[in-house]
Amino acid sequence: MRFLGFAVVTGAAILLGACGGGDKAATDTAAAPAADSAAPAAAAPAGAMAPITGTTHTINMVGDGQGYRFEPADLTIKAGDGIKFVFVSGGPHNVAFDPATLSPEAKSALIANMPEQAGELTGKMMLNANEEYTVSFANVPAGVYDYFCTPHLAMNMKGKITVQ
């Protein structure tokens, strides 16, 4: 019985490992040509975050007895600023933007300025307190950008960034 459980767990781990590696390679290969051809000349190349030229603001990611939230949830910044998202408690956390709500220019700039994406406009998953994830808003057009934490969206962990 122990052997069977070990075999099933080992087989599942191998299968997940094979799937995870394959998806990443396929995504990287497919995304690189599309991003290069669609990116404006002034934007940073795909995968290279445009440098933050202004202030770096901090938004804390919190989950506790009061609920799941970003602190502050609404923030107004200037073009060229950056935002450092800091995992405080109640994770895992990430930050994501809905691509369907963005203009092509905003989408392209954010894709370039979000390192280690887990999916389109979805930052890496942070699993431990004090982890940070920084997004540059250099080359991002002025406007309102709604964002959310994927694991806690159903618990209303959302926010809004206004770029002036």
Q: Give the confidence band of 102 by pLDDT, cuts at 50, 70, 90.
A: very high
The pTM assigned to this predicted structure is 0.71
* Per-residue model confidence as pLDDT tens digits over 112-130: 999 999 999 999 999 999 9
pLDDT given at position 37: 36
In a domain, 135, yes or no: yes
pLDDT given at position 48: 75
CATH number at residue 63: 2.60.40.420
pLDDT given at position 49: 82
In a domain, 100, yes or no: yes
Got the DSSP string for 32-86?
A: HHHHHHHS-TTSPPTT-PPPP-S-EEEEEEEEETTEEEEESSEEEE-TT-EEEEE
* Per-residue model confidence as pLDDT tens digits over 6-35: 444 444 444 444 444 444 333 333 333 333
Indicate the number of domains in the chain: 1
pLDDT given at position 15: 41
Mean pLDDT on 128-146: 97
* Per-residue model confidence as pLDDT tens digits over 26-65: 333 333 333 333 333 343 345 578 999 999 999 999 999 9
Which range marks the domain in which residue 132 is found? 56-163
Mean pLDDT on 89-111: 96
In a domain, 108, yes or no: yes
pLDDT given at position 51: 95
Task: Spell out the residues 6+ positions from residue 83 whose beta carbon is closer than 8 angstroms to its own.
Answer: 56, 57, 58, 59, 75, 77, 134, 135, 137, 161
In a domain, 145, yes or no: yes
